[in-house]
Amino acid sequence: MEPTLNENHTMSLKVRTQLSAMMFFQFMMLAVWFVPLAAYLDQNGVQGTFRALILSSMPLGCLVSPIIGMLADRHFAGQKLLFLLNLLGAILLAVAATVDDPTVIFILLLLQMLCYMPTWGLTSAIAMAHSPTEKFPQIRVFGSIGWVAAGLFSLVAIKLNLAEKFDGTNLPMYCGAATSLVGAMVALTLPDTPPKAKGQKASLVDVMGLRAFSLMKSFDFAVFIIVSLLVMIPFASYWSYGSQFLSDEGFEYITITMNWGQLAEMFFMLLIPLVLAKVGIRWAMVMGLIALVARYASFLLGDMFDMTELYFVAILVHGLIFGFFFVGGQIYIDKKAPVEIRAQAQGAIFLVTFGVGLLLGNFVNEWMIQQNTVEGVVSWAPVWKTMTIGSVALLVAFLLLFRGKDDVEEFSSSETPAVEAAS
C-alpha cells in the first residue's frame, strides 16, 4: 500500500533527525580530543618529527577512505560499516589515553584514524543518499554543532572539579572514546543504505576504491582536486598547529576558543544552498578561498601589531573556509560523480585533502615552525606571512583556471534524492 502524505512527511522528518544525530556525534567525537592534541603533545615534550607524525595520524587515516567508500558502494550497507568503524575507534582511543610512549601513541592513533577518517566521506554519502544534495548543508550543520558542543566537556570537567585542567591531559581522549561509542549506537538507528553497485564486475581500480579519480579527465575537476590538495598546506597551520599558537599566546581554554570557528560555521553552512542558488559553485568556493587569505592576514597582522582581537577574526572565518570551499566541494563532487561511485568519490576528496594534503601540510608547517624557533620560542610572523602569500596564490590560480561550467540553475534546481529508506 502506498504511504500517505502524512506518513511520507513523518518518515522524512524521522530520517532527517537520524542523519542529523549521525553528523552531530560524528564530529563531536573528533573535536573533543584532536583540537587540543598539539598542545597536549607540546606539554608532554613531544616535538619535531614525532609530533608531526602523531598529528599526521589524521591524514594517514584518510588513505583508506576510497577503499571504505568502495565497500559501501559494492558490498556492505553504509550504516553497518559506520557502526563497526565507530566501535573500533572507541576502543583504540580509550587504549591510547592510557599510554605515554610517543611511538605507541602514534600507532594507536593511526589505527584509530584509519577507522575514523573514512567516516567523513561515508556519512556524507549516507546523508546524500537520503536527501536532495542541496539540503545536505542543513544536515551537515549538525556536525558543526557537535564540534562546538565538544567544548562543553572541558567546562563540565573543570566546573564540577573533575579535573583542574582539561586541555593538555588525556581526559579529552576518554571523552572522545565515549562519544565514539555513542556514535556507533546511533549508526544502528540509521535508514538502510544498501550498496548501489552490488554484484557489478570490479577491476583492481575498483577494489582499491580509486575509480573516482577517473573524473579528473575533466579539466575543471582536475583543477578542483589540485587546488584542494594545495589549500591544505596553509589550512594545516591552523588545523594542526592552531592550538600550539594559542597556547603560546597565553590562551587558557583552547578548545572553546577555537570552537568559535565552528560556531560561525553553523551559520555559514545554512547559507550554502542560498549562495549556490545565487552565484553557483565556482563563486562559492572563491569566497571560501578569500576567507582563507583573510585568516592568515589576520594572524599575521595580529602577531605583528599585538592585536589579539584579530586572532578571533582568523578563527571566525573558519566556517566560511570549511563551509563554502570544502563542503561546497563535496556538493560539486556529488553532482559530478555517477551514482555507482559516489561513496568512493566522497572518500577520494577526503583522501586528497585531509589525507595527502594535510600530511604534506603538517610536515611543511612543522619544518617552518622549527626554522623559526629559537631557544624554545616560536616566531610565528614568518609562518603567517608565508601562509598568507600561499593563500593569495591559490585564490588567483583557482580564479584563472576553474572555469565553473556548472551554471547557477543546476544548483538551484530541486531534485528528488535517490532514497531507499528503511520501510
In a domain, 10, yes or no: no
State how far the Cα of 120 lies from the Cα of 355, in Å rounded to an integer: 12
Q: Kindly give the parts of the chain with pLDDT less than 50.
A: 1-11, 406-409, 411-423
Q: How many domains does the chain have?
A: 1
Closest alpha carbon to 142 in 260, 23, 316, 31? 23
Mean of pLDDT over the chain: 82
Which residues does 117 contact at the CB level (< 8 Å), separation at least 6? 58, 59, 61, 62, 64, 65, 350, 354, 355
In a domain, 1, yes or no: no
**Phi and psi torsions of 377, nearest 5°:** -110, 125
Q: Give 124's Cβ-side CA count (13 Å radius).
A: 29
In a domain, 332, yes or no: yes
Read off the pTM.
Answer: 0.75
pLDDT digits (tens, 9 = 90+) for 35-69: 778 777 877 777 777 777 888 888 888 888 777 87
**What is the rounded radius of gyration, in angstroms, for the C-alpha atoms of the chain?**
21
In a domain, 135, yes or no: yes
State how far the Cα of 238 lies from the Cα of 295, in Å rounded to an integer: 9
In a domain, 334, yes or no: yes
Query: What is the pLDDT at residue 156?
Result: 73
Domain that residue 225 falls in? 17-194+207-412
pLDDT digits (tens, 9 = 90+) for 349-398: 888 888 889 889 988 998 999 899 888 888 999 999 999 999 999 999 99
In a domain, 3, yes or no: no
State how far the Cα of 145 lies from the Cα of 25, in Å rounded to an integer: 9
Residue written as grid cell 549506537: 185
In a domain, 351, yes or no: yes
| 250 grid coordinates | 597565553
Query: What is the pLDDT at residue 358?
Result: 86
Identify whether the C-beta of residue 205 lies closer than 8 Å to the C-beta of residue 74.
Answer: no
Q: Which CATH number is 364's domain given?
A: 1.20.1250.20
In a domain, 37, yes or no: yes
State how far the Cα of 224 lies from the Cα of 246, in Å rounded to an integer: 31
Query: What is the pLDDT at residue 283?
Result: 93
